[in-house]
Amino acid sequence: MVTTVILGMLCVYLLCFSVMFLLISTRLNGKKMGMEVFALGNLLLGLAYILQLVGGPPGWGVLSMVNHTLTLSAPVAYVLGAMRFFGQPTPILRPLLALAVGYSLIQVLVQYWLGNEARHALLAGSCALLFLAMTAAALHGVRTFAQDLRVEMIVFAVLIGGICILNAMKFAMIVEGGLAALDLSSGFQKVFYIYMSFLATVLPPCAVWLVLRRLTDELRTLAAHDPLTRLLNRRGLMDALELYFRSRKAAAAYLLIVDIDHFKHINDTHGHKVGDLVLTRVAEVLKATVRQGDLICRLGGEEFVVIALDTDRAGVLQLAERTRAAIEQGEVLGTDHDQAIRCTATIGVSEEFTSVQVFDEFLQQADAALYRGKAAGRNRTEWPHAWDA
């Protein structure tokens, strides 16, 4: 009786959280992060347990076969939802339908050749292997695709590992003692469904937390980057500089302002759409030209800032000239695709600085050098007056 009550409560948990996941997915617009698939997984498992309640003692029949198919399909749905959460464009209905049809046929064959006990052992063993693979995938994710969610993935691995062990124990008990192991009044079944209720209570809030974590990370990224070029904006640059100068290995940095020559003329002649293409192209050139670790920012309009880290005067001048030449050699196709648009840039370089607090001062110094370069004919690199001495 106690196990039946626990199983009934588990069904309510699963169906309620299925509705919650579905509602959350509708609020996420185009990027649902797998929440609608998690809702489907909860629905499948909830329906499986409902069938177990109404189906009575373990036996052979349509309800039992559907119950087993739904029970195995639910964790597969969770896997597919997790793949979507981590950005994999995974199909859902086709794999689940293939699994449902394939496993139903396997059940019929096992029932015919080996009997009812073997069919129940097949489900327990299949679930154990599936959860073992999920546990291994979660632990693998700690070092690969989910490094930003290390703690969360370890927690998931522990929780999923628990249900893997319980299913392995159920498999062994069925093989050894037959269907008596599935009696809802047994102590094992009581422990099994208490643990499942625990998972049904803990895992859905954990999934919601992962979505909130991912959304806040994306908002933080958007707040620190220019939407057109995907480079750092001023706020993102200041945060990155502060983090750099806070490190023990921080060395002096140089500031370069890169300004596209005659950009207003490009906009007026070819339109703002082409102007955006030029800005995007220059951003790509900067990313391809600067050294790994240097910081790139779109300061605004047609101005970009490069922070050259851990270098000297000769190195920063070489970087500036290499960047200027790369921009000059690049080209952008116009909207009619038959006219290549070229542009040049003037670069102003500052002296070295060693703290984020003096950023504005050295930005003005590089800006003054930039305007001297503009006055001297553009498409050139200019440095502080002090370097001429």
pLDDT, position 60: 80
What digits encode the pLDDT tens for the residues 169-223? 999 999 998 888 778 778 888 899 899 889 888 888 888 888 888 888 888 888 8
C-alpha gyration radius of the chain: 31
pLDDT, position 338: 60
State yes or no: pLDDT of 76 exceeds 90. Answer: yes
In terms of C-beta distances under 8 Å and separation of at least 24 residues, what long-range contacts does 368-376 make, across chains too? 369/257, 370/257, 370/259, 370/346, 372/348, 373/346, 373/347, 373/348, 374/259, 374/261, 374/346
More confident residue, 335 or 44: 44
Contact 48, 70 (CB under 8 A): yes
pLDDT, position 250: 80
Mean pLDDT, to the nearest integer, of 50-61? 79
State yes or no: pLDDT of 330 exceeds 90. Answer: no
Q: Which residues of 186-205 are buried (b: 16+ CB within 10 A; e: fewer)?
A: eeebeebbeebbebbeebbe
Q: Which residues of 328-359 are buried (b: 16+ CB within 10 A; e: fewer)?
A: eebebeeeeeeeebebbbbbbbbbebeebeeb
Which of 221, 201, 219 is closest to 211 using CA atoms?
A: 219
- How far is the C-alpha of 251 from the C-alpha of 337, rounded, in Å? 45
Q: What is the DSSP letter of 386?
A: G
pLDDT, position 331: 81
Mean pLDDT, to the nearest integer, of 82-106? 94
pLDDT, position 336: 61
Two structure tokens written together for 132: 């073992």
State yes or no: pLDDT of 340 exceeds 90. Answer: no
Contact 85, 34 (CB under 8 A): yes
State yes or no: pLDDT of 95 exceeds 80. Answer: yes
Would you place residue 19 in the very low, low, confident or very high pLDDT band (cuts 50, 70, 90)? Answer: very high
pLDDT, position 106: 96
Two structure tokens written together for 142: 């700690």
How much is the pTM?
A: 0.77
Would you place residue 351 in the very low, low, confident or very high pLDDT band (cuts 50, 70, 90)? Answer: very high
Contact 385, 284 (CB under 8 A): no
More confident residue, 29 or 245: 245
What does pLDDT average to over the chain?
Answer: 90
- How far is the C-alpha of 301 from the C-alpha of 291, rounded, in Å? 24
Mean pLDDT, to the nearest integer, of 138-153? 92
- How far is the C-alpha of 278 from the C-alpha of 273, rounded, in Å? 9
Q: Is 256 helix (H, G, I), strand (E, B) or coil?
A: strand
pLDDT > 90: what percent of the chain?
A: 64
Contact 146, 158 (CB under 8 A): no
Residue written as tokens 């700690």? 142
Mean pLDDT, to the nearest integer, of 244-272? 89
Two structure tokens written together for 28: 């996420």
Q: What single-letter amino acid sits at 335?
A: T
More confident residue, 271 or 379: 379
- How far is the C-alpha of 7 from the C-alpha of 55, rounded, in Å? 13
Would you place residue 335 in the very low, low, confident or very high pLDDT band (cuts 50, 70, 90)? Answer: low
Range scoring the smallest mean pLDDT among 133-137, 222-226, 274-278, 339-343: 339-343
